[in-house]
Amino acid sequence: MIDQIFSLSPEQAQRALLYFYDILPNEVWEGEKPSKGDIEALAEEILEVLPVDLQTHLTEVMQKDTHRGEVAKFLLQNFAQHYQLKPYVEQALKQAQEPHMAPLPYIIGALIIVLALIPKEIKKGDLYIKFGHLEDAAEFVKSIKFGYLEDIAELVKNLKNFIKK
Protein backbone atom coordinates (compact mmCIF):
# COMPACT_ATOMS: atom_id res chain seq x y z
CA MET A 1 0.00 0.00 0.00
CA ILE A 2 2.94 2.33 0.63
CA ASP A 3 3.88 2.15 -3.08
CA GLN A 4 0.29 2.94 -3.98
CA ILE A 5 0.35 6.01 -1.71
CA PHE A 6 3.60 7.32 -3.14
CA SER A 7 2.44 6.75 -6.74
CA LEU A 8 -0.44 9.21 -6.22
CA SER A 9 -0.28 12.57 -7.92
CA PRO A 10 -0.23 15.56 -5.54
CA GLU A 11 -3.93 16.18 -6.21
CA GLN A 12 -4.85 12.52 -5.66
CA ALA A 13 -2.89 12.44 -2.39
CA GLN A 14 -4.72 15.50 -1.11
CA ARG A 15 -8.08 14.05 -2.17
CA ALA A 16 -7.20 10.78 -0.45
CA LEU A 17 -6.46 12.65 2.78
CA LEU A 18 -9.77 14.52 2.50
CA TYR A 19 -11.64 11.26 1.90
CA PHE A 20 -9.78 9.62 4.76
CA TYR A 21 -10.89 12.38 7.09
CA ASP A 22 -14.47 12.30 5.79
CA ILE A 23 -14.89 8.53 6.21
CA LEU A 24 -13.27 8.25 9.63
CA PRO A 25 -16.12 7.21 11.91
CA ASN A 26 -17.10 9.37 14.87
CA GLU A 27 -16.08 6.50 17.18
CA VAL A 28 -12.43 7.20 16.33
CA TRP A 29 -12.77 10.67 17.84
CA GLU A 30 -13.04 11.51 21.49
CA GLY A 31 -16.02 13.83 21.49
CA GLU A 32 -17.40 15.11 18.23
CA LYS A 33 -15.47 14.88 15.00
CA PRO A 34 -14.41 18.45 14.19
CA SER A 35 -16.26 20.14 11.38
CA LYS A 36 -14.28 21.57 8.51
CA GLY A 37 -14.88 25.00 10.05
CA ASP A 38 -13.38 23.77 13.33
CA ILE A 39 -10.38 22.43 11.43
CA GLU A 40 -9.84 25.75 9.72
CA ALA A 41 -10.08 27.66 13.03
CA LEU A 42 -7.68 25.25 14.75
CA ALA A 43 -5.16 25.52 11.91
CA GLU A 44 -5.29 29.32 12.18
CA GLU A 45 -4.77 29.10 15.95
CA ILE A 46 -1.79 26.81 15.50
CA LEU A 47 -0.24 29.08 12.88
CA GLU A 48 -0.76 32.19 15.02
CA VAL A 49 1.31 30.87 17.91
CA LEU A 50 4.20 29.52 15.86
CA PRO A 51 7.34 31.63 15.54
CA VAL A 52 7.25 33.82 12.45
CA ASP A 53 9.86 31.81 10.54
CA LEU A 54 7.98 28.53 11.10
CA GLN A 55 4.69 30.25 10.33
CA THR A 56 6.11 31.57 7.08
CA HIS A 57 7.57 28.24 6.05
CA LEU A 58 4.48 26.22 6.90
CA THR A 59 2.27 28.73 5.08
CA GLU A 60 4.53 28.55 2.02
CA VAL A 61 4.45 24.75 2.11
CA MET A 62 0.66 24.73 2.29
CA GLN A 63 0.36 27.10 -0.69
CA LYS A 64 2.11 24.75 -3.11
CA ASP A 65 0.11 21.86 -4.51
CA THR A 66 3.13 19.59 -4.85
CA HIS A 67 4.22 20.21 -1.25
CA ARG A 68 0.71 19.65 0.13
CA GLY A 69 0.61 16.44 -1.88
CA GLU A 70 3.90 15.20 -0.43
CA VAL A 71 2.83 15.98 3.14
CA ALA A 72 -0.55 14.28 2.47
CA LYS A 73 1.31 11.16 1.27
CA PHE A 74 3.47 11.22 4.39
CA LEU A 75 0.38 11.45 6.63
CA LEU A 76 -1.47 8.70 4.73
CA GLN A 77 1.57 6.43 5.05
CA ASN A 78 1.63 7.02 8.81
CA PHE A 79 -2.10 6.36 9.17
CA ALA A 80 -1.85 3.20 7.05
CA GLN A 81 0.60 1.70 9.53
CA HIS A 82 -2.20 1.32 12.10
CA TYR A 83 -4.40 -1.69 11.39
CA GLN A 84 -7.47 0.13 12.72
CA LEU A 85 -6.99 2.97 10.24
CA LYS A 86 -5.69 0.94 7.30
CA PRO A 87 -9.15 0.11 5.84
CA TYR A 88 -10.02 3.81 5.80
CA VAL A 89 -6.76 4.65 4.04
CA GLU A 90 -7.41 1.89 1.48
CA GLN A 91 -10.93 3.17 0.80
CA ALA A 92 -9.67 6.76 0.52
CA LEU A 93 -6.98 5.68 -1.96
CA LYS A 94 -9.59 4.00 -4.18
CA GLN A 95 -11.83 7.06 -4.15
CA ALA A 96 -8.96 9.43 -4.82
CA GLN A 97 -7.93 7.54 -7.96
CA GLU A 98 -11.35 8.00 -9.57
CA PRO A 99 -11.63 10.90 -12.04
CA HIS A 100 -12.70 14.25 -10.53
CA MET A 101 -13.90 17.43 -12.12
CA ALA A 102 -14.18 19.59 -9.01
CA PRO A 103 -11.15 21.49 -7.75
CA LEU A 104 -9.70 20.65 -4.36
CA PRO A 105 -11.50 22.49 -1.57
CA TYR A 106 -9.58 25.35 0.03
CA ILE A 107 -9.72 23.56 3.41
CA ILE A 108 -7.02 21.06 2.40
CA GLY A 109 -4.11 23.12 3.74
CA ALA A 110 -5.79 23.54 7.13
CA LEU A 111 -6.64 19.83 7.26
CA ILE A 112 -3.03 18.89 6.59
CA ILE A 113 -1.78 21.25 9.31
CA VAL A 114 -4.25 19.92 11.85
CA LEU A 115 -3.71 16.23 11.05
CA ALA A 116 0.04 16.78 11.22
CA LEU A 117 0.05 18.80 14.43
CA ILE A 118 -3.10 18.00 16.42
CA PRO A 119 -2.38 16.04 19.58
CA LYS A 120 -3.14 12.37 19.22
CA GLU A 121 -2.72 9.34 21.37
CA ILE A 122 -1.86 5.91 20.08
CA LYS A 123 -1.24 3.14 22.60
CA LYS A 124 0.54 -0.12 21.83
CA GLY A 125 -1.09 -3.47 22.50
CA ASP A 126 -4.45 -3.78 20.76
CA LEU A 127 -3.69 -0.32 19.38
CA TYR A 128 -5.92 2.34 20.87
CA ILE A 129 -6.15 5.44 18.69
CA LYS A 130 -7.55 8.70 20.01
CA PHE A 131 -8.08 11.66 17.70
CA GLY A 132 -10.01 14.83 18.11
CA HIS A 133 -9.57 15.69 21.72
CA LEU A 134 -10.09 19.35 20.97
CA GLU A 135 -9.88 20.34 24.63
CA ASP A 136 -6.38 18.88 24.63
CA ALA A 137 -5.72 20.63 21.32
CA ALA A 138 -6.57 23.96 22.93
CA GLU A 139 -4.09 23.16 25.70
CA PHE A 140 -1.58 22.10 23.06
CA VAL A 141 -1.95 25.43 21.28
CA LYS A 142 -1.41 27.25 24.59
CA SER A 143 1.58 25.05 25.42
CA ILE A 144 3.30 26.01 22.18
CA LYS A 145 3.75 29.45 23.67
CA PHE A 146 5.39 27.98 26.75
CA GLY A 147 8.08 25.57 25.70
CA TYR A 148 7.11 22.96 23.12
CA LEU A 149 8.40 24.95 20.18
CA GLU A 150 11.30 22.56 19.79
CA ASP A 151 8.86 19.75 18.95
CA ILE A 152 7.04 21.89 16.38
CA ALA A 153 10.32 23.15 14.97
CA GLU A 154 11.49 19.54 14.63
CA LEU A 155 8.26 18.52 12.90
CA VAL A 156 8.42 21.42 10.46
CA LYS A 157 12.11 20.70 9.82
CA ASN A 158 11.29 17.05 9.12
CA LEU A 159 8.45 18.07 6.80
CA LYS A 160 10.80 20.52 5.09
CA ASN A 161 13.45 17.81 4.62
CA PHE A 162 10.81 15.33 3.45
CA ILE A 163 9.52 17.78 0.83
CA LYS A 164 13.04 18.43 -0.47
CA LYS A 165 13.48 14.72 -1.32
* Sequential pLDDT tens for the chain (165 residues): 889 998 999 999 999 999 999 998 877 776 677 888 888 888 888 788 777 777 777 777 778 888 888 888 988 988 898 888 899 999 999 999 998 888 888 889 888 888 877 656 655 455 456 555 445 545 555 555 444 445 555 555 555 555 554
Instruction: Quote the CA–CA distance of 149 and 4 in Å, as a whole number.
Output: 34
Q: Give the bridge partners for 129, in sequence order.
A: 122
57-64's contacts with Cβ under 8 Å and 24+ in sequence apart are 57/156, 57/160, 58/113, 58/156, 58/159, 61/159, 61/160, 61/163, 62/109, 62/112, 62/113, 63/109
Closest C-alpha to 42, from 137, 108, 112, 116: 137
The runs of H, that is alpha helices, within the chain are 2-6, 10-23, 36-49, 52-63, 65-80, 86-96, 108-117, 134-144, 149-164
pTM of the model: 0.76
Instruction: Quote the CA–CA distance of 161 and 129 in Å, as a whole number.
Output: 27
Q: What is the pLDDT of residue 11?
A: 94
Q: What is the pLDDT of residue 148?
A: 47
Per the structure, the count of domains in the chain is: 1
Q: What's the alpha-carbon Rg for the chain, to the nearest Å?
A: 15
Beta-carbon contacts of 128 under 8 Å, excluding residues fewer than 6 positions away, are 121, 122
Q: What is the pLDDT of residue 165?
A: 47
Residue 93: alpha-carbon gap to chain centroid:
15
Q: Which domain holds residue 14?
A: 2-164
